[in-house]
Structure 1
Amino acid sequence: MRFSSHAALGLLAASITNALPAPQDDTPPTISPSADDLETLAQLSQHAQEVTNSSLSTGKRQLGSCTLRNLSVRREWGTLSNPERKAYTDAVLCLQKKQSKTPSSLIPGAKSRFDDWIGTHINQTTTIHYTGTFLAWHRYFTWEYEQALRNECGYKGTQPYWDWSKTAKTGHEKSPIFDGSEFSMSGNGELDDNKGDIMLGGQGLPEFPIPAGNGGGCVTSGPFKSMSVNLGPVQLSLPGGKTESNGDGLAYNPRCLKRDLTNEVNRRFANATSVVRNILLPKDVYDFQMTMQGYPGTNDIGIHGGGHFTIGGDPGRDLFTSPGDPIFYLHHSMIDRVWWMWQSLDVKKRTSAEGIAGTGTFMNQPPSPDTTLDTEINLGFAAGSPKTMRDLMSTTAGPFCYIYI
């Protein structure tokens, strides 16, 4: 797909490489868009790297203790070596074996440190989706999860990400992230013959179907073939238009991890063109995050929903309990990467108060105050001290010091 020159505003020239000087301001040159959206996406990533490097090397922004020397790099799963992949999944398994820090009186079903993150997400779901904190909350959540892997389980690497544009092109079966090997994030679930479309919408919005995948049952290969999902579901979408709930999802409800990997959903909602359009077309953060999550009533679930419903299964199709699948953190690292690339096209504006839109409740229901730079984010017993939005707007300010390649 090709874009107009106006839509392509913000792309790097294809000739820009690491060997050339970083741009001296945050406005990249206008070029004709690439015919290959994967290449366009690579250019956007390169630009974001150059902007970050320029900021850190020139010191034109006060970015705290983050420097080029201590800057960490998050990489796509497929670029990691087998030992690096196994080190990551070993750390996740370690977190699943450690005792929960959440009092059982608050979340009875939280049995492990891994469960602490799920419980926090369940409790805050309606205040962190379609809200002003959506992007920053998940940035902080994923970063603190990375710190837990490092500080509590000895992981030496950084949080990897899942580039949906790659699996949209190759399919999941041929992807190193889902091939089911010991160096993957585990594969698909067993085939479940109880199939039918997943129905989305409702509650006053038009219903529309998305297809189920070719799994649906318990995951039987890879590092997470024996893991237990202990919390939820709260609002789990099932094939055939059904839903499943276990009350508020906080009770102990152990079951196998299920997946229903769906190539068609990946190719429809989270392909390279979807990602590029989400970065290039929105000119304000409201449109950016609404496009990402999907404007209600448009039959488009955005790249955020596209990733979640590509995973499918239980807890993958449950907005509340979705961190119960370890792939969640690679998915949301890609969400954060897309935000980082979008922010790089106008850093001053998009990391300031102008880079926030929305209130503190899901689609402002019930009505609540606007989110501001002073709005506090608290991850409960999962990790970390409360932070304000102003601390979380840049990947190289506040507690953060990382980029993506």
Structure 2
Amino acid sequence: MGVSSAGGKTAPVHVLTERYDRGRVPRVRRVQPLVRPCKVKRGVRLIDDAHRVEHVLASLLVESSPSTHAMRRNVGESPVLGLKFARCRVRRQAAKCSQVQLLSPRMRWNHIIALLGVFVACLEAHSVERRRRRCEDALIRREWRTLDDEEKAEYIAAVQCMLDKPSRSNVAGATRRYDDFVATHIIQAEQTHFVGFFYPHHRLLVASFEYALRKECGYGGAQPYWDWLLDVDDLAASPIFDPDTGFGGNGEWVPGTHARPWHTMELPLPSNHGFPDRTGGGCIPDGPMPSYGEFVASSEPNAHASGHYGVGGLYGAMTDKWSSPVDPVFWLHHANVDRLWWSWQYRNLPGRLMDISGPLVSQDWTNQRGGNITLSDENLLVAIGEGTSVDGTMDIRGGFLCYDYDGIY
């Protein structure tokens, strides 16, 4: 397999011939023996020293940033040298790259540089195209109390519309469109709580609910959020629970056989449990949470869980790990949980858009999958039939998502 050299011997030839103008990076492969040297055609580069070129390209594609995370799961053995060679799917490719051929014997190094330039141009085009796709008309999510009464009524009507529309899933027991979202949360609860998927999954879930409100029920606004910090002095007095312009409060107490003494009794709370009196150090805007793993470990069982228990109490729907979305306040609560994550991301946006970690399954359970979450893992909503990669949900203002908040922490 080769071409005739000056000495009459046959030099080995390796040809790289796959066109990659649709976002596919070419693969090096062996071809049938060539009868004569290939002629230089328009749009084709003839390169010598295929071994060295392949080594450089492999290093370039595997190590290059910012596109590395989009291709890391598509690395295979090169049939030429046995090196790791990235067969990556460069998505949303902007540049039209030419067909490339690698040949030996000796030819000039400027051809090698030209080929590397093509690859660099392709990778840079991918990065530029991704930035170009950043949404220009983002939905702005606002805090519930900043909505006027008409806007609040429109949102509540859209939620009621979801309760009236028939289910679009095949989940047993799901009869209404709203049930499809509850079913998704129930089915995937064990895979999306106390694991790395917690924030990406719930970000996608809330965004999908927001999309359904707008596209299926004619809602003209964005998903509102509930900033709990505004109600710390009197949670029950929050406008979220207004009986007319909110989601209702506790209602009137109806005594009955369920009202046993130990359910209704009031007990004094001791003021001193051995902790010294302190006034606190105030708000810590940055927090000792430099990594995603530390952030989720601190916020999921505290700020997130407190919102659920604060509304649901001991036995309410919001307290249930699986079926908490049956309470419509869930969506406003989790929109603020997402806002909390975005506030943390925004403080170091370039780095934290790619900062993800954590186990795939809770440490309380055993599972054969094991391992840790990565940006290329699939982020799915099984009962709704939607999904993207984890990478697709890291940025709320580009790629798969397109919304923002009226303010962050």
Fold match by TM threshold 0.5: yes
Alpha-carbon displacement from aligned partner over 1:80-134 (angstroms, at most 9, x marks no partner): 010000000000000000111121xxx3221100000111111100000011111
1: CA distance, partners of 2:283 / 2:392: 27
Aligned mate of 2:149, from 57, 70, 82: 82
- The CA deviation at 1:330 is 0.4
Aligned mate of 1:65, from 117, 133, 141: 133
Give the corresponding residue for 1:285: 292
1: CA distance, partners of 2:383 / 2:281: 35
The answer to whether 1:179 aligns with 2:237 is no
Pair 284,76 (structure 1): closer, same or farther in 2 beyond 3 Å: same
Give the corresponding residue for 1:299: none
Task: Assess if the C-alpha contact under 8 Å between 2:139 and 2:221 holds in 1.
Answer: no
Pair 373,277 (structure 1): closer, same or farther in 2 beyond 3 Å: same
Aligned mate of 1:96, from 138, 163, 174: 163
Pair 61,277 (structure 1): closer, same or farther in 2 beyond 3 Å: farther
What is the SS of the residue equivalent to 1:396? coil
- The CA deviation at 1:186 is 2.0
2: CA distance, partners of 1:178 / 1:125: 26
Unaligned runs of 5+ in 2: 1-126, 267-279
Give the corresponding residue for 1:188: 250
1: CA distance, partners of 2:177 / 2:281: 35
Aligned mate of 1:125, from 166, 189, 213: 189
Task: Assess if the C-alpha contact under 8 Å between 1:131 and 1:364 holds in 2.
Answer: no
- The CA deviation at 1:364 is 6.5
Pair 375,331 (structure 1): closer, same or farther in 2 beyond 3 Å: same
Alpha-carbon displacement from aligned partner over 1:320-377 (angstroms, at most 9, x marks no partner): 000110000000000000000000111111111xx21112112373251210011101
Pair 283,318 (structure 1): closer, same or farther in 2 beyond 3 Å: same
Pair 307,61 (structure 1): closer, same or farther in 2 beyond 3 Å: farther
2: CA distance, partners of 1:340 / 1:83: 28
Give the corresponding residue for 1:4: none
Give the corresponding residue for 1:318: 320
- The CA deviation at 1:66 is 2.8
Give the corresponding residue for 2:309: 309
Give the corresponding residue for 2:388: 387
What is the SS of the residue equivalent to 2:140? strand
The answer to whether 1:357 aligns with 2:340 is no
Matches for 1:129-168 after TM superposition, within 5 Å: 129-168=193-232
Aligned mate of 1:337, from 336, 339, 345: 339
Pair 332,101 (structure 1): closer, same or farther in 2 beyond 3 Å: same
Tell which has more relative contact order, 1 or 2 (C-alpha 8 A, sep 6+). 1
Alpha-carbon displacement from aligned partner over 1:248-275 (angstroms, at most 9, x marks no partner): xxxxxxxxxxxxxxxxxxxxxxxxx999
1: CA distance, partners of 2:261 / 2:405: 38
Amino acid aligned to 1:371 = I
What is the SS of the residue equivalent to 2:236? coil
What is the SS of the residue equivalent to 2:201? helix
- Computing the radius of gyration from Cα coordinates, the structure with the larger value is 2
Amino acid aligned to 2:249 = G
What is the SS of the residue equivalent to 1:356? coil
2: CA distance, partners of 1:130 / 1:346: 24
1: CA distance, partners of 2:187 / 2:281: 30
Deviant stretches of 4+, over 4 Å: 194-197, 273-279
2: CA distance, partners of 1:279 / 1:383: 37
Matches for 1:174-253 after TM superposition, within 5 Å: 175-181=238-244, 183-191=245-253, 193-194=259-260
Task: Assess if the C-alpha contact under 8 Å between 1:180 and 1:186 holds in 2.
Answer: yes
Matches for 1:25-64 after TM superposition, within 5 Å: 62-64=130-132
Identical-pair percentage: 32
Pair 338,213 (structure 1): closer, same or farther in 2 beyond 3 Å: farther
What is the SS of the residue equivalent to 1:169? coil
Alpha-carbon displacement from aligned partner over 1:257-302 (angstroms, at most 9, x marks no partner): xxxxxxxxxxxxxxxx9995585221111111011122xxxxxxx0
Matches for 1:271-282 after TM superposition, within 5 Å: 276-277=283-284, 280-282=287-289
- The CA deviation at 1:60 is 8.5
What is the SS of the residue equivalent to 1:378? strand
What is the SS of the residue equivalent to 1:403? strand
What is the SS of the residue equivalent to 2:241? coil
Unaligned runs of 5+ in 1: 1-58, 198-211, 215-272, 295-301
TM-score by length of 1: 0.59
